[in-house]
């Protein structure tokens, strides 16, 4: 008899298991069998939708494989929510485990220690929970908007070494790496006075610090170019979302006439920038230059670069087009590199609380290295504000100090505007948001966040104008910026349009589901509204109306009360009395 061929490959494994199946079978065997089959069918349908394959159905358990760890995690999240739609079932009726493993393929089956370990991870999970291995978290941290709780290391039965486990706690509200494409086709024409900055390259052997440096210098050049009012500058997320290095393709996809590309190299205390400006219609390089200076001199050289780019794009330099004051640069390379480390951790801040605290630590080190560097002061507050024990008074004092140091930093002004709005001072919040847009009129992120302010100020029409402008600047806005349209249309009473805007997003956050539920109640569809709230509760069992009250900062209390009443009608509970006392 011929031996069956065995091949090995890497796969993301998902194991889902019915909880307490034995007692249910003893209580009513036929009902239990029917319910379990419906639950497993619902999970299998989600697996297929996410391009996975069920390779084993063992009684009350399902085992599936995915080539993409992100798809595996998304499938687990969606499968848990799908259980809510199964009559007689709830999210607590199953538990899930995920792991990235090297597996043996035997016919249609997968075997090996990796599959066994995934089963052990699933068996360790509580009802309704999703547990994942540390290796899986590392693979999905930039590709999936999930937050995790680090549970520590565990000894699992039959596994020789301790395994670090994480619990999926829900969707991140603010996830910068997941974008919502706002343009489905390439632009048919180039914009006038338009430019994009491609991510600066580093040597293949460059260390992590140099890679952060290249990303930071790219963002700073985009910011400085965005100060030129008549210059259309494609956003950071648009530049970083494109995987092509071909100037012609980038120009066609973003609709820009010019592209700046280059590389960064750190040479001790000196930096070397190699820069090229290319005309995208023909692919012809208009000029190339090498800039090499000590770090504290590089910013003056960057001013010269931005002026030269603008001169080429405009055909002449119009000094009145650029802000008379520029953002204050850091005084030392160490401070700048600490700041960039902080930014990286801040962008992953809602992944686990550890990233938030590490971001705050890196920003603190940047401040220690340069006490007159305003950006890390502001970003330290932005990171800290995600923690439940954040001191808003301290935040105002810290941002005020940053503004004293550098009143011309647009992001510092925007963060102060956000804090003022949170603390109820809408007049001051308006001034700071308007100042941020004045300082950087072509920054899509700042424009989108200012749109959020106008929603809470009750000015939904103006918010939509700003969101359209932000989408025009950036066809790859982060989801948590693009979702502001849902709130704006809700505020205008355009329920169907709000639902369509939510459906156009690549994934649903707690916020979009809550607004969808409120729209459904307003439309008289309480049944669907209750199902949406059940989906939210499947991922966030403790969610209550205080979450909405804390995050939806409407100036008009009546708007908030109406929203809360609709969500309450849809089944969102009030917090326990002990929490509100």
pLDDT for residue 436: 93
Residue 372, pLDDT above cutoff 60? yes
Among 20-24, 66-70, 313-317, 444-448, name the one with the lowest average pLDDT. Answer: 313-317
Structural domain includes residue 347: no
Number of neighbours of residue 259 by Cβ within 10 angstroms: 25
Residues 194 and 156 in one domain: no
- Residue 338 and residue 344: Cα distance in Å, rounded? 10
Among residues 321, 355, 375, which one ends one of the domains? 321
- Residue 251 and residue 197: Cα distance in Å, rounded? 11
Place of tokens 């349209």: 485
Structural domain includes residue 369: no
Residues 212 and 163 in one domain: no
- pLDDT bin (cut points 50, 70, 90) of residue 578 is very low
Residues 17 and 111 in one domain: yes
Question: 183 vs 166, which has greater pLDDT?
Answer: 166
Rounded to the nearest integer, the mean pLDDT of the chain is 84
- pLDDT bin (cut points 50, 70, 90) of residue 121 is very high
Residues 184 and 167 in one domain: no
Residues 214 and 162 in one domain: no
Q: State mean pLDDT over 559-575.
A: 95
- Residue 365 and residue 337: Cα distance in Å, rounded? 10
Among 25-34, 274-283, 543-552, name the one with the lowest average pLDDT. Answer: 25-34
pTM of the model: 0.74
List the one residue out of 51, 9, 12, 16 whose CA is nearest residue 139: 12
Q: At 16, which helix (H) or strand (E)?
A: strand 6-18
Q: What is the pLDDT of residues 173-195, one digit of tens each?
A: 665 556 655 555 455 567 777 88
Structural domain includes residue 89: yes
- Residue 509 and residue 400: Cα distance in Å, rounded? 32
Residue 111, pLDDT above cutoff 60? yes
What does the H/E/C string look like for 347-370? HCCCCCHHHHHHHHHHHHHHHHHC
Structural domain includes residue 147: yes
Q: What is the tally of structural domains in the chain?
A: 3
Residues 205 and 161 in one domain: no
- pLDDT bin (cut points 50, 70, 90) of residue 388 is confident
List the one residue out of 517, 502, 522 whose CA is nearest residue 570: 517
pLDDT for residue 220: 83
- Do 183 and 238 form a contact (C-beta atoms < 8 A)? no
From residue 182, give the alpha-carbon distance in Å to each of 100, 144, 193, 337, 517. Answer: 32, 19, 21, 33, 24
Find the Cα–Cα–Cα–Cα dihedral 80, 85, 89, 90, rounded to 10°: 40
Residues 109 and 21 in one domain: yes
- Residue 105 and residue 55: Cα distance in Å, rounded? 10
104 backbone φψ class: left, alpha, beta (φ>0; ψ -120 to 50)? beta
Residue 263, pLDDT above cutoff 60? yes
Question: 477 vs 422, which has greater pLDDT?
Answer: 422
| 94-106 vs 130-133, strand pairing mode | parallel
Q: What is the pLDDT of residues 274-329, one digit of tens each?
A: 888 888 888 888 888 888 888 877 777 777 777 777 777 765 444 444 444 456 77
Domain that holds residue 151: 6-171
Structural domain includes residue 553: yes
Residues 365-389 as b or e (16 or more Cβ within 10 Å = b): bbbebbeebbbbbbbbbbbbbbeee
Residue 25, pLDDT above cutoff 60? no
Residue 515 tokens read as 């607004």
Residues 141 and 216 in one domain: no
Among residues 301, 321, 341, which one ends one of the domains? 321
The CATH number linked to 119 is: 3.30.70.1230
pLDDT for residue 323: 44
- Residues of the chain above pLDDT 70, percent: 88
- pLDDT bin (cut points 50, 70, 90) of residue 453 is very high
| 94-106 vs 258-267, strand pairing mode | unpaired
Structural domain includes residue 420: no
Q: What is the pLDDT of residues 86-108, one digit of tens each?
A: 888 888 889 999 999 888 888 88
Q: What is the pLDDT of residues 75-84, one digit of tens each?
A: 998 899 889 8
Residues 263 and 309 in one domain: yes
pLDDT for residue 23: 60
Structural domain includes residue 402: no
Which distant-in-sequence residues (6+ apart) come within 8 Å of 281 by Cβ?
190, 248, 251, 257
- pLDDT bin (cut points 50, 70, 90) of residue 19 is confident
Structural domain includes residue 407: no
Residues 40 and 57 in one domain: yes
Among 348-362, 377-391, 529-543, name the one with the lowest average pLDDT. Answer: 348-362
Among residues 262, 293, 321, which one ends one of the domains? 321
Q: State mean pLDDT over 425-442.
A: 92
- Do 127 and 19 form a contact (C-beta atoms < 8 A)? yes
The CATH number linked to 294 is: 3.40.50.10070
Which distant-in-sequence residues (6+ apart) come within 8 Å of 105 by Cβ?
6, 7, 8, 9
Residues 93 and 207 in one domain: no
pLDDT for residue 556: 96
Q: What is the DSSP letter of 5?
A: P
Residue 122 tokens read as 């699933």
From residue 575, give the alpha-carbon distance in Å to each of 513, 543, 547, 579. Answer: 19, 8, 9, 6
The dihedral sign for the CA sequence 133, 136, 140, 142: positive
Residues 16 and 76 in one domain: yes
């Amino acid at each position: 008899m011929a031996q069956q061929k065995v091949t090995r490959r890497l796969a993301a494994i998902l194991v889902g298991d019915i909880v307490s199946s034995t007692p249910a079978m003893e209580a009513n065997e036929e009902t239990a069998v029917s319910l379990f089959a419906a639950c497993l069918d619902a999970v299998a349908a989600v697996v297929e939708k996410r391009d996975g394959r069920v390779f084993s159905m063992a009684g009350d358990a399902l085992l599936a494989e995915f080539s993409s760890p992100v798809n595996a995690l998304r499938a687990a999240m969606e499968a848990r929510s799908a259980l809510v739609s199964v009559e007689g079932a709830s999210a607590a009726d199953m538990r899930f485990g995920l792991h990235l493993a090297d597996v043996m393929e035997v016919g249609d089956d997968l075997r090996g220690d990796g599959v066994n370990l995934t089963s052990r991870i699933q068996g360790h999970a509580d009802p309704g929970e999703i547990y994942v291995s540390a290796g899986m978290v590392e693979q999905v941290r930039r590709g999936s908007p999930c937050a995790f709780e680090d549970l520590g290391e565990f000894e699992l039965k039959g596994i020789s070494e301790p395994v670090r486990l994480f619990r999926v706690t829900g969707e991140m509200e603010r996830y910068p790496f997941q974008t919502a494409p706002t343009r489905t086709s390439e632009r048919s024409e180039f914009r006038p006075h338009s430019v994009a900055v491609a991510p600066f390259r580093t040597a293949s052997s460059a260390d992590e610090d140099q890679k952060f440096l290249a990303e930071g210098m790219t963002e700073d050049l985009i910011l400085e170019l965005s100060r030129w009012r008549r210059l259309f500058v494609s956003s950071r997320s648009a530049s970083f979302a494109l995987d092509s290095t071909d100037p012609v393709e980038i120009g066609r996809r973003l609709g820009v006439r010019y592209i700046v590309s280059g590389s960064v190299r750190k040479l001790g205390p000196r930096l070397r920038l190699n820069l090229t400006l290319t005309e995208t219609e023909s692919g012809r390089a208009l000029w190339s230059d090498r800039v090499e200076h000590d770090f504290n001199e590089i910013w003056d050289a960057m001013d010269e670069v931005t002026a030269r780019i603008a001169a080429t794009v405009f055909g002449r330099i119009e000094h009145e087009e650029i802000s008379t004051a520029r953002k204050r640069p850091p005084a030392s390379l160490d401070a700048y590199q600490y700041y960039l480390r902080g930014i990286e951790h801040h962008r992953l801040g809602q992944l686990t609380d550890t990233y938030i605290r590490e971001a705050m630590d890196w920003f603190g080190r940047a401040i220690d290295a340069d006490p007159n560097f305003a950006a890390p002061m502001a970003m330290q507050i932005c990171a800290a504000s995600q923690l439940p024990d954040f001191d808003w008074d301290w935040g105002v004092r810290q941002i005020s100090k940053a503004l004293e140091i550098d009143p011309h930093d647009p992001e510092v002004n925007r963060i102060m505007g956000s804090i003022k709005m949170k603390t109820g001072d809408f007049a001051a919040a308006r001034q700071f948001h308007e100042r941020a847009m004045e300082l950087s009129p072509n920054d899509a992120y700042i424009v989108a966040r200012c749109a959020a302010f106008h929603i809470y100020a009750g000015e939904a029409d103006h918010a939509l104008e700003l969101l359209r402008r932000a989408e025009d600047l950036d066809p790859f806005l982060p989801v948590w910026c693009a979702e502001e349209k849902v709130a704006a249309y809700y505020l205008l009473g355009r329920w169907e349009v709000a639902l369509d805007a939510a459906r156009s997003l690549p994934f649903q956050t707690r916020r979009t589901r809550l607004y969808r539920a409120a729209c459904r109640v307003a439309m008289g569809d309480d049944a669907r509204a209750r199902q949406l709230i059940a989906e939210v509760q499947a991922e966030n069992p403790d969610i209550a109306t205080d979450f909405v009250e804390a995050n939806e900062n409407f100036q008009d209390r009546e708007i908030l009360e109406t929203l809360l009443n609709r969500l309450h009608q849809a089944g969102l509970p009030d917090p326990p009395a002990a929490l509100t006392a």
